[in-house]
C-alpha cells in the first residue's frame, strides 16, 4: 500500500531506501550516524533547522481551487492563495526530488485522540529527525491499527533541502502549501519542523467544522482527576498557558491543539512542542524532565564539550523548541480525551494593568473575546516597543484558522449554551499600574483564581458588573486579597486608571469594528454557521 501511494504521488524509488514507522531508537541512531543531529547530555536529539528557525507566514499558501475556493476565509492576511497549476508544479518537483534521496522516512499516525473524529496522517520526509518529530506530535497508532491503516486521510511531503526557485516552481525560497480539497500538504525549503505540525493542525481546523461540526481550538486542556471536570485554556505567548495548564492537582490532556465534539474534548496531538528559552527545572519541571531520550530539540545552544543544553542562550533564536511525546509527562490523561468542558479560560497578559485578574463572561462576551484574542507586548520585547502595545490574534490562533472566524465563534457560542459552560477572562499581567509602574500579578494568586473558577467557588460571593469592560467581576475569592479583584483600587492614581481603562476598552472596540464591521455584541448569539 505504501509503495502504491508513493508511486501515485510521483515518488519512484527503491523501497529499500524507504523506512516505515521506525522506532525512536532507530531514528535517533540514523540521525546521528548521518550527521543530522547531536545527542545531548539529557538524551534528547539536538538539531539545527538552518535559515528558518520559526514559521514563515510569507511562504505559506492554500490552494485556491475546488471547495476551498469558497470555504477559505481569503480576507484573513494569514490565508495566502496559490493557484492549482503552481501548486502541482511545486509538488511534482518536490516528489521528483525526494525520489532521488538516499533515504526517505514514512511515519503514520492520527490527528485526533478520539478515533471517531481523527484523521489518518502519513508523513513522507527526507530526514530521520523530522520523522521522530512527527512521530512524537501525532497520536501513535496501536500495532493493530497500523495493520489496517490503509490509505491516509492527510498526506504530507516534507523536503527541507529542496530549495524552491521562482523560475522553476513559481515560489521561493520555501513553500508550505495546503491542498484542502485533496488533503495533501507540501513542506519544502524549510527545516523548521513546526511547519509540519501547524500545517496538519490547519488542515484539521478546516475539516473538523465542515465535516464533523467539531470546534477545533488552539488551546490547552486539563482535568480534575477526582471529578472528571475538564477545563480548556486559551492564551497567546507569554500569558502563562503552559504553566497554568500544568497544574500539579490536575491531569494534562494536551497543551496546544484540541477539538470540542458532542462527546467532549480530545487532543489533536500525541505530544508537546514547547519553547525552551530560559527553561529551568525549577520553573517548568514537567517540560524540563520531558526533554530526554526520544525527544527532539530544535535550535538550542549546546556546550561543545559536555553537550549540555544552554537554555538561557538565545544566540541561535529566541524560538528554541523541544518536541516530546505526552508519555514523557507524569500527570497526563493517557486517552487524550476529557469530558465536555465545564470551564473555559481566556488568558491575557494585560500590560496596561487595568483588566481585572479574573472576570466572568456571558455567551456573547465569550464570543467577543474569542474573536478578539487580546494580550499586550511590553517594552523591550521587540525592537521599537517603548510602551505597552495591544496584540490581537483572533481565535487565539488566527494563522491556523482557515475558515471564516464566525464559523468558529458560532461553534463556541453554541457549545457554551448547550452545556452551560462557564467562561472567564483571566489577566495574568499587571496590576497597580502599567508595565514599568505596577507589578505582575503573583502566580499563586492567579492559581487561586483559576482553581476557584474551576471548582465553582468563585460564584459563591457573587459578582459586580464592570461597565467599562462589560464583564462581571467576583466580589471575593478564597486566598486572594479583595482589593486585587478591583484593579482600580490597586492604582495610586484612580483617575489615571480610569483613563487607561477607557483607552484599552476603546482599543477593543476599534479592533473588533475593524475586523468585523457591522457586527454588534448582542448579535453574536444569533450568528449562524
Residues acting as catalytic residues: 55, 198, 218, 237, 241-242, 256, 321
Residues with Cβ < 8 Å from 29, sequence gap 6 or more? none
The distance from CA 244 to its chain's CA centroid, rounded to whole angstroms, is 15
Q: Which helix (H) or strand (E) holds 221?
A: strand 220-223
CA-CA distance, 396 to 401, in Å (whole number)? 10
Count of CB atoms situated within 10 Å of the CB of 244: 22
Contacts of 63-66 spanning 24+ positions with Cβ under 8 A: 63/87, 63/177, 63/178, 63/179, 63/180, 63/181, 65/181, 66/180, 66/181
How far is the CA of 87 from the CAs of 171, 183, 264, 301, in angstroms? Answer: 9, 13, 37, 36
Bridge partner residues of 217 (DSSP): 258
- Tell the burial category of 274 from Cβ atoms under 10 Å away from its Cβ (0-12, 13-18, 19+): buried
How far is the CA of 168 from the CAs of 63, 86, 92, 203, 296, in angstroms? Answer: 18, 10, 11, 27, 33
> Quick check: 312 and 63 in contact, CB under 8 A?
no
Query: What is the total residue count of the chain?
Result: 529
Nearest to 249, CA basis, from 223, 274, 285: 223
Residues with Cβ < 8 Å from 223, sequence gap 6 or more? 229, 230, 231, 250, 251, 253, 333, 338, 339
CA-CA distance, 84 to 108, in Å (whole number)? 26
CA-CA distance, 174 to 124, in Å (whole number)? 17
Grid coordinates 478578539 are at which residue?
Answer: 372
Q: How many CA atoms lie within 13 A of 353 on its CB side?
A: 27
Cell of 418: 448547550
> Quick check: 59 and 176 in contact, CB under 8 A?
yes
Amino acid at each position: 500500500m505504501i509503495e502504491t501511494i508513493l508511486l501515485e504521488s510521483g515518488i519512484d524509488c527503491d523501497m529499500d531506501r524507504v523506512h516505515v514507522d521506525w522506532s525512536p531508537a532507530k531514528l535517533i541512531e540514523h540521525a546521528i550516524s548521518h550527521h543530522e543531529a547531536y545527542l545531548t547530555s539529557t538524551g534528547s536529539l539536538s538539531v539545527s533547522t538552518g535559515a528558518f528557525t520559526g514559521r514563515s507566514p510569507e511562504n505559506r499558501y492554500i490552494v485556491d481551487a475546488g471547495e476551498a475556493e469558497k470555504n477559505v476565509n481569503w480576507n484573513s492576511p494569514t490565508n495566502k492563495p496559490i493557484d492549482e497549476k503552481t501548486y502541482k508544479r511545486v509538488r511534482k518537483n518536490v516528489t521528483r526530488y525526494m525520489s532521488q534521496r538516499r533515504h526517505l522516512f514514512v511515519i503514520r499516525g492520527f490527528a485526533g485522540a478520539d478515533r471517531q473524529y481523527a484523521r489518518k496522517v502519513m508523513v513522507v520526509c527526507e530526514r530521520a529527525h523530522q520523522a521522530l518529530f512527527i512521530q512524537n506530535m501525532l497520536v501513535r497508532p496501536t500495532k493493530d491499527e497500523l495493520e489496517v491503516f490503509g490509505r491516509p486521510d492527510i498526506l504530507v511531503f516534507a523536503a527541507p533541502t529542496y530549495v524552491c526557485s521562482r523560475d522553476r516552481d513559481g515560489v521561493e525560497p520555501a513553500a508550505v502549501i495546503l491542498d484542502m480539497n485533496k488533503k495533501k500538504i507540501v513542506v519544502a525549503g524549510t527545516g523548521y519542523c513546526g511547519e509540519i505540525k501547524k500545517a496538519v493542525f490547519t488542515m484539521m481546523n478546516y475539516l473538523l467544522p465542515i465535516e464533523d461540526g467539531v470546534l477545533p481550538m488552539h488551546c490547552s486542556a486539563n482535568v480534575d482527576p477526582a471529578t472528571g471536570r475538564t477545563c480548556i485554556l486559551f492564551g497567546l505567548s507569554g500569558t502563562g498557558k503552559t504553566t497554568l495548564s500544568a497544574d500539579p492537582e490536575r491531569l494534562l490532556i494536551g497543551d496546544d491543539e484540541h477539538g470540542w465534539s458532542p462527546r467532549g474534548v480530545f487532543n489533536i496531538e500525541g505530544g508537546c512542542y514547547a519553547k525552551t528559552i530560559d527553561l529551568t527545572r525549577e520553573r517548568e519541571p514537567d517540560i524540563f524532565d520531558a526533554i530526554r531520550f526520544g525527544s527532539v530539540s530544535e535550535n538550542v545552544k549546546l556546550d561543545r564539550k559536555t553537550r549540555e543544553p544552554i537554555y538561557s542562550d538565545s544566540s541561535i533564536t529566541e524560538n528554541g523548541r523541544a518536541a516530546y511525546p505526552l508519555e514523557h509527562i507524569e500527570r497526563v490523561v493517557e486517552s487524550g480525551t476529557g469530558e465536555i468542558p465545564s470551564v473555559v479560560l481566556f488568558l491575557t497578559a494585560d500590560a496596561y494593568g487595568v483588566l481585572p485578574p479574573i472576570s466572568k463572561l456571558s455567551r456573547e462576551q465569550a464570543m467577543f473575546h474569542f474573536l478578539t484574542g487580546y494580550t499586550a507586548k511590553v517594552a523591550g520585547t521587540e525592537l521599537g516597543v517603548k510602551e505597552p502595545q495591544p496584540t490581537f490574534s483572533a481565535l487565539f490562533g488566527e494563522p491556523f484558522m482557515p475558515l471564516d472566524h464566525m464559523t468558529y465563534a458560532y461553534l463556541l457560542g453554541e457549545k457554551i449554551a448547550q452545556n452551560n459552560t462557564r467562561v472567564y477572562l483571566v489577566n495574568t499581567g499587571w496590576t497597580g499600574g502599567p508595565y514599568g509602574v505596577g507589578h505582575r500579578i503573583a502566580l499563586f494568586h492567579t492559581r487561586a483564581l483559576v482553581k476557584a473558577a474551576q471548582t465553582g467557588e468563585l460564584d459563591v460571593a457573587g459578582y459586580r458588573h464592570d461597565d467599562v469592560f462589560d464583564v462581571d467581576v467576583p466580589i471575593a475569592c478564597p486566598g486572594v486579597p479583595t482589593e486585587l479583584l478591583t484593579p482600580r483600587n490597586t492604582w495610586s492614581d484612580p483617575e489615571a486608571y480610569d483613563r487607561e481603562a477607557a483607552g484599552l476598552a476603546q482599543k477593543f472596540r476599534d479592533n473588533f469594528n475593524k475586523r468585523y464591521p457591522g457586527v454588534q455584541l448582542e448579535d453574536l448569539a444569533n450568528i449562524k454557521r
